[in-house]
A and B are shown apart, each in its own frame.
Chain A
C-alpha cells in the first residue's frame, strides 16, 4: 500500500515535470521582424542581474547594450546582402552562479550570435564553458576577475581592465604620490575583494613598500575596530581596502574615530557616491580607483544618446557594454556574417574606436591598454585625479584635453603589429 502511494506520487511528480517542460511557453523575447524578404534577424544576448542587490547596475549594463543595438538597427546595416535586424535578448542571472549557467544555456538554446555579459565575474566564469562549447563569442563589459580570460576560451573577451591591472594601478599611484613606508591591506574575503587586494599587495611589494600581513573581514562586517586598532598599533601610514562601499564606509569612519591618520585607499567597489553618506566627513581625502574611464569621460555622443534614450546618466559600466555590443556588430559587418565561426576571427583582431576609447584585444581576449581612473574625495564628491594606461599615469585634466579635440582618431595601426600590452606574469 505504502509502495503504491510512493509510486503514484513519483508518477505525479514526473508527469508534473513533463507538463512543466511542455507547457513552457517559448518566451517571445523577440518578435520576428516584419519580413521584407531578404532580411536576417540577429540575436544578441545580454546577461546581468536585473534583480537583487546590484539590479541597478545590471539595468545600466543592459541599457548600454540596448542603445548600441537600437543604433545599429537605425543604421540599416546590411550583412551578407540582407537587412540585418538586431534583437537584444536580455536575461537576468541574479548574480547567482547557478542561475548564470542556466541563463547561459537559455541563450545558447535561443541561438544568439553573440553575448554581452555577464556583469559579475562569479557568474561569467561558470557560464563561459557553456558559451565556449557552443562557439558563441562573449564580451563582458564589467567582469574584472583575471581568471575569466585565463581559461583559454577563444570566444571570451572583455573590454574592461582586469583586477590585476587595476590593483597595480592604484598601488603605483599610492606608492608614487603618498610614498608610504608601511601599508596595511584589508579585504572582505570575497572573490573580488581578496583578488584585488592580492594584486595591490603584489605591486606594492614589487615597489619595495612594506606590507603588513593581510587582515580580513567579511562582506557583512560592520565592526572594524579590532582590525583597525591592530593596524594603528603597527603604525601603518596607508591602508588599502579591497571590498564594497557598504563595508568600506564604516571602515574609514571607524579608522578616523580611532585617530588613524593614514591615507585610506579603495578599489572600484568602494569608489562610489555612497561613501560620503556612509562615512560622513571621514571619507574626505580617500583615494580610489575605477576600472576604465569614468562614465563622464566617455564619448560625448554616447553620453548624449544615452541620456536622451533612458533619461538618466550611465552609472558605471554602460559605456563598456555599449562598446561590447558594438564590437560584436562591427565584427559581423567586417566578416559579412553573423555566424560566430566566421566573425570570431574578425573580433579577435578588431581595432575599434568606441565610447571608451580605442579597443583591441590581446591573445587572451583582454583589452589592450585598458585605462584605470584614480579618484579622490573632495567635499563629498568623487573627483577624478589621474588616468593610468599601460603603466603611464596621466593627470585627469591632461587626459581630457588630449581626448576632447580628437574627432580624428589617431591613425589606427594594424592590430597585429600593435605593441604588446604589458604582459602580466
Chain B
C-alpha cells in the first residue's frame, strides 16, 4: 500500500511536470498546436460536466451543448460591445456557470419522471430549442444578435495580463494561447477535484443508487428529485464554464457553434472513455479531440500520395470514427476504454440476468 502511494505521487508529479511543460513543447511545433490543445481541454471540461449527468446519475443528455452555449453567450453578452458591458472575467465565469445551472434545472424539473430514452429525446429537443432561440433573439429586441453572432468579445484579463497577447517573462515568450492553456488546465484540475470528491461523497453515492435503481433509491430515503436536479445543475454549470472560456478564446461566437453534432461528440467522448470514470472520460475527450488533427496529418497526405487527391475527407472519417466508436464500444466494451469499477460490475450483471 505504501509502495502504491509512492508510485501515485511519482506519477502525479511527473504528470504535473509534463502538463506544465506541454505548451512549450507544442509551441516548438507551432502555436497552432497550443490552440488545438486548448480546444481539447475545452472538450475535457465538457466531457467531465456531461459525465456527472450521464456517468454518475445515468441520465442520458443529448442536448448538453445547450449549456455550453448558455455559458458562452453569458460571457459574450457581459464582455463585448453588444451591450457595452465589459465585466472582468472572474465575475462573468461564475455568472455563466450559475445561468447554465439554472438552465440545467429548467431542463431537469419537467423531465424528472421521464425514463431513459424519452429523456434523451427531450434533452435533444431542449438543445435545439436553446439554439433556435439564440438564433432568433435578434428580433423584436436585439439580444443575441441572431445568426450574425457576437464579435469583439473581450479576452481574459487578469491583473495586467492580457490573454490575447504574448508577453515575455524572464526571457521566455508566453503566447496568448499558452496563457489560456494554463487557465484551462487550472479549471480542469478544479473540476476534476470536484468530480473526484463528488464521486465518493454522499451525493455521488446517491447518484449511483439512482442510476442503478431509482425506485430502490427512493425507498432508501434518497431525495431523488433533489439529487437529479443537482446532477443536471452541476453538469450544466461545468458546461457553462467551458462555454465562457470558449467565448473568450474565440472572441466571436454564433449559434452555428452549438449544433447537435457537438452534443453527440461530447456524448461519444464520455461513452468511449468510460461512463462514470473520470480518467476514462478525460482520455476519451483528448482522443476524440485530437482525432481530426491526427487524421489531417496522416490520412490526407496518405490519400494524396496514393490517389493524387483526397477521396475521403478527414472530417468524414472523423464522424465515421465517432459513429463506430459508439457502436463498437457498446457492443464489445460497454463500460468504455477505461471502465469505472462499479459500472463494469453493473453492466456485466445486467447482461447475465
The reply, when asked whether chain A contacts chain B directly with Cβ atoms under 8 A, is yes
> Which one, B32, B257, B283, contacts A102 given CB within 8 A?
B32
A1-31 interface mask toward B, CB cutoff 8 Å, 1 = contact, 0 = none?
1111111111101111110111011110000
List B contacts of A1 (CB < 8 A).
Answer: 4
In the complex, whether B290 has a CB less than 8 A from a CB of chain A is: yes
Most buried by A among B4, B252, B279, B341: B252
In the complex, whether B120 has a CB less than 8 A from a CB of chain A is: no
In the complex, whether B19 has a CB less than 8 A from a CB of chain A is: yes
Contact: A191 with B148, CB < 8 Å?
yes
> Which one, B22, B139, B256, contacts A97 given CB within 8 A?
B256
Contact: A103 with B32, CB < 8 Å?
yes
In the complex, whether B330 has a CB less than 8 A from a CB of chain A is: no
In the complex, whether B75 has a CB less than 8 A from a CB of chain A is: no
CA distance A359 to B7 in the complex (A): 67
Q: Does more than half of chain B's interface fall in helix, strand or loop, or is it mixed? A: helix
Contact: B149 with A191, CB < 8 Å?
yes
In the complex, whether B8 has a CB less than 8 A from a CB of chain A is: yes
In the complex, whether A342 has a CB less than 8 A from a CB of chain B is: no
In the complex, whether A109 has a CB less than 8 A from a CB of chain B is: yes
Contact: A4 with B279, CB < 8 Å?
no
CA distance A133 to B164 in the complex (A): 8
> Which one, A4, A8, A126, A193, contacts B251 given CB within 8 A?
A126
Contact: A106 with B250, CB < 8 Å?
no
Contact: B338 with A105, CB < 8 Å?
no
Contact: A189 with B286, CB < 8 Å?
no
CA distance A110 to B18 in the complex (A): 26
List A contacts of B310 (CB < 8 A).
Answer: 50-51
Contact: B283 with A9, CB < 8 Å?
yes
In the complex, whether A63 has a CB less than 8 A from a CB of chain B is: no
In the complex, whether A269 has a CB less than 8 A from a CB of chain B is: no
CA distance A283 to B31 in the complex (A): 49
Contact: A98 with B22, CB < 8 Å?
no
Contact: B8 with A194, CB < 8 Å?
no
Closest to B140 in A: A213
List A contacts of B176 (CB < 8 A).
Answer: 133
Chain B residues 250-284 with CB under 8 Å of chain A are: 250-252, 254, 256-257, 278-280, 282-283
Contact: A216 with B136, CB < 8 Å?
yes
Q: Which range holds the interface residue count of chain A?
A: 35 or more
Contact: B279 with A10, CB < 8 Å?
yes
B1-38 interface mask toward A, CB cutoff 8 Å, 1 = contact, 0 = none?
00010011001101100110110011011111101110
In the complex, whether A373 has a CB less than 8 A from a CB of chain B is: no
Contact: A6 with B278, CB < 8 Å?
yes
List B contacts of A151 (CB < 8 A).
Answer: 151-152
B141-176 interface mask toward A, CB cutoff 8 Å, 1 = contact, 0 = none?
000001111011000000000001100000000001
In the complex, whether B314 has a CB less than 8 A from a CB of chain A is: yes
Contact: B252 with A126, CB < 8 Å?
yes
Q: Given A129-B164, A133-B165, A194-B148, do A97 and B252 touch, yes or no (CB 8 Å)?
A: yes
> Which one, B29, B139, B165, B252, contacts A125 given CB within 8 A?
B252
CA distance A10 to B282 in the complex (A): 8
Extra contacts besides A9-B280, A21-B37, A190-B147 (6): CB < 8 Å: A11-B14, A18-B18, A21-B26, A97-B256, A122-B254, A133-B164
28 contacts between A and B (CB under 8 A): A5-B338, A7-B8, A7-B12, A9-B279, A10-B279, A10-B282, A11-B15, A13-B283, A13-B286, A14-B15, A16-B286, A17-B22, A21-B33, A97-B250, A97-B252, A98-B257, A102-B36, A105-B30, A106-B32, A109-B31, A122-B256, A125-B149, A129-B251, A189-B146, A189-B147, A191-B147, A191-B148, A194-B148
7 closest A-B pairs by beta carbon, nearest first, are A7-B11, A109-B30, A51-B313, A14-B18, A105-B32, A21-B26, A106-B32
Residues of A within 8 A of B (CB): 1-11, 13-18, 20-22, 24-27, 50-52, 55, 94, 97-98, 101-103, 105-106, 108-110, 122, 125-126, 129, 133, 145, 147, 151, 189-191, 193-195, 214, 216
